[in-house]
A and B are shown apart, each in its own frame.
Chain A
Amino acid sequence: MDKRAGLDPLQFRLNGRTVLIEVAPDARLSDVLRDDCGVKDVKVGCDAGDCGACTVLVDGAPVCACLTPARRVERQQIETLSGLVKNDSLTRKLAASFEAHGAAQCGICTPGMIVSASALLREVPEPTPDMVEDALGGVLCRCTGYRKIIDAVVSTHREPAPAPALTGPGHTGAAIPRVDGNAKVSGRERFGDDVAPPNALHLRIVRSPYHHARFTLGDIAGWATRIPGIETVLTARDIPGRNLFGVIPGFIDQPVFAESTCRFRGEAIAAIVGTAEAIAGLDLSGFPVTWTELPASLTPQEAQAPGASLLHDGHARNVMCGGFVSHGDASAGFDGADVTVAAEFSTAFVEHAYIEPEAGYARVADGRVEVFCCTQAPFMNLEGLMDILALPRSRIRIRPTGVGGGFGSKLDLTVQPYLALAALKTGRQVRMAYSRTESMQSSTKRHPSRISARIGADKDGTLRAMQFDGVFNTGAYASWGPTVANRVPIHASGPYRIPNYRAEAQGVYTNCPPAGAFRGFGVPQSAVAQESLLDMLADKLGMDRLDLRIQNALENGVPTVCGQVFDTGVGIRACLEALRPAWQAERQALAANRLPNGLLRGVGIGAGWYGCGNTSMPNPSTIKAGLTADGTLVLHQGAVDIGQGSNTVITQIFARAFGVPTASVRLLGGDTDFTPDAGKTSASRQTFVSGNAAQRAGEGLRRQVLERVNASETAQISLEQGLIRVTDEDRTHDIVPAQLPTDEDGYVLQAEGYYDPPTAPLDKNGQGAPYAQFGYAAHLAVVEVDPAYGTSKVIRIVAAHDVGHAINPLLVEGQIEGGVAQGLGMALMEEYHPGRTENLHDYLIPTIGDVPPIETRIIEEPDAHGPYGAKGLGEHALIPTAPAILNAIADATGVRMTELPVTPARLRAKLRQAGHG
């Protein structure tokens, strides 16, 4: 018997080698594999068995390493992704299939997916999709929508193995596998928690357990000295600069550490820095803090009730700010309308739920602080730290790691200031990863909304007027709330011609976690209202719901509700028309068939639009490229790839502009020391804005090469064996870069491309040119409802998207499928409640069994400003999904759901009211 096993070394086989190691008695296998054995391909997403990212094989069986006591695996065989890829040809084929199908986006769930699928394929070489779903049901993915993962596993057995290797030029329009995919499918990608050196100190944040509370700190130094291994404790007093951060000028309102009052549950008050052992064994129950709980406002209604306390000075009634658009004369429009429909809608807090919690590490080198972190916005992080640390730009360096999903929330500062402060104070390397709970408590969310909206039309279906009033719960701090307040009134019309329009949105402070950027910035919420009303209107008029939309769709030359007119590229009509075959077929099928067991089926349509880039504000990107003396072509690709594919898309654009195959470009990431600012990965701007910068960089570098040999613009450039060869009709010129002088960056030739989209300010009525381009989308959803249970199952999605020019159709599909899955979650199950759903088993996101087959229809209406006509896509992918699902539920049941998510309990209650037994 293993009596004092805690003191005996543990022995097991790991990826074919024998490991002999001392571990703590209660250690989780996941921590031992990652930190003691250095097997970083085992990912920790929840530490609770809820996400499956840590899946490993123990004696061949997939288990969650986070739930497995390390000591249990004594004399057992452990296999992880990196070992399987090395030792098992089946896994290698599977990994290649993942790469070829685009089944890995950010890559954080990929180890769990491939390890689980390897176990399945060993037993069943040719599984059905259902078997794949059962086998992978325990691994959550937030990026892909799962369908490409199912395809990848099902088709692994097919010979020959799919070849992800890049052949041909791979320029824009080519559905090439992502250029950074191999690292993701083989376990080599390094994310925020994978990069710290083994001896780094650890950091743990002390957070408010109350939504709203005053506090006083006691004898922290005395407390800390009683705990071995504590190096220091940081509080607001340790901040050399300004104890505030934020993202919008004028709204920098969030303290790094609260000073005497916490405004939301999970707000930081202190950070404890110590050895790994000290932090792992830390019991915070004795931390010297005295709390006085205060009344909290968790909704705008509560925050605006008489007597509610104000969260921030200067914000009467807790109003953070508002946005407003007025076009034509709304009240006159309603007066003249034949038919009016109106309703109120509400949507919930939605958590980003990327599988990678916020993580990173910091060190001080040569008097500079370097922060390694998963981020969507390295330069914004840097600027935020300058204020907090009171350091000049030259003394801060952000080194982005792989990002395991972002969706907007990793734009804001999270771990960065704590790590930087700790490294500066201790002089040591310091790391931290948020637990799932603190990630959910403290990171930004999608704004809950309450919307009141009204639409009026003529008898023939022509839209006459719309009024929209939205109140958005922005939480305790502003974050990107002002962006939401501004964007919503611009977008709430949907992609339709509405001559008389008045829309107002207001952000209200509450004692909730900050609501910020989340894929769509408020537009998914407003689309729920507007697209639901269009169906109600069509029904009231007795019109076909698709025809009504097409009749009113925006077109080239027709003004938006901001009075903006696009001469080209308005693709919403084409998107809607692309749904017509499925719409007609589904409606005929519904009429013809009755479903067994009392199930009800319905089909619904939703449409959407989204302006790419910042709203009427400068939004530049710079992309730089150079040729080295040995002829290597280097692209400084600062448009952070959070899984959406900018590493690939930007490279394809650059390669086409320069005129060489995409495979011959070497990428350098977004290190702020080496790569210029390509702006934040947000607002569907990278393909559009950074893509333009990349095109300009490619064209600029190409010009330099051609000028050097006086070649014509049509000449071919090729890079071969240290030569730059220029073939101009029948003449060939060789440039030998080794013979050229190098510049301070080490390049013999270099070029920068800069692009800032042309927008114009909005006037007091919101009239102007807020965006240089919009992208357009329309989705069709088929939903089956079990009326006795109130459950809804989405069984088909058709998604038509106008992307201008599909730079990479495979990645376009990936964005759409992932967006659909998030829209489905928002519609049917996602609802965050502070203090009540702070984990991934009480907060539900769709699993592999919840996302139906998705048929993508790519529409290409070239944009006047996009690179090769391309438009952004990231946000557009989810905006129409929830409305389409709601409309399908209404179609199936006759019941209009206006409160999201449509949980079984909510739908069943409405169905009972409507007389369903």
Chain B
Amino acid sequence: MVGYIIRRLLFLPLTLLLVAFVTFVVLRLTGNPVDIFLDINRTPEQVAALTQRLHLDQPLPVQFLIFLRDLLHGDFGESLQFSGSAVSVVSQRVGATLQLAGAGLALAVVLGVLGGIVCAVWRDRLADAVISTLAVVGQSMPSFWLGLLLIQFFALQLHWLPTSGYGDARHVVLPAATLATILLPNFVLITRTAILELMGEQFVVTGRSKGLSRARVLTTHILPNAANPVLSFLGIQIGTLMAGSIITETIYAWPGVGRLLINSIFHRDVPVVEASVFFIAIAIAVANLMVDVLQMLIDPRIRRP
């Protein structure tokens, strides 16, 4: 398995190279960063200096090679709008994003899996109907709207939580709940389906027929087997989580990478955009690797040589 992890890690640079290439091309296609970053009153000297700094006077392939060379040194260049290197600008925001994404994901997984179990065990009963309906409602609710509703209710009506901002544990509740709602319904539905499918399997029937209680069968036979589809789904959803954090961070004024990315795209702060996209790509790749490893630990059948 260690060999597998190493091989997967060897593929990571290839993934990142593709990400770097696409980011680079898109940023160059949508306009000259110099024109966009410098304002109306720019002087020719300023244009020349920035053009040189971003290597825009070189042909495109050369620019890309320079970009790759700096990348190998972990250098995305100096941020145009902030003082400091792009890497330091992004790393200042990483903590906030990981905190929000971690809390949101944990909430979604725990509540989603619990909800899915309840739905499957009491299939076609009231609990199933209520939870499944809520899941569909949650799934179809735009997160920016949900965010505003939560602020309205918990901050303005009940005064339990702050409306926005970054600070103590109370600040993370509403953004995490908003982010969780993007993923939660799917976890409910996936868990429910996975368990229901397993319920008809022969080993489950055997377990019941040899006198095991329903609870025992569920915990020892069904849940371990249901873990894999849920985990696969989790791996796929890391991207959705990152995309969702952009909206959530904006609504709740959360100083994370998502908002930084959007802001930097508007200003065409090329180094920061590239560094942010890279961070997100690494986060997604590492999360997926962790999911794969977990799956292998759980299910010996997919253990690779």
Do chains A and B interact in one complex? no
B-to-A contact residues, CB < 8 Å: none
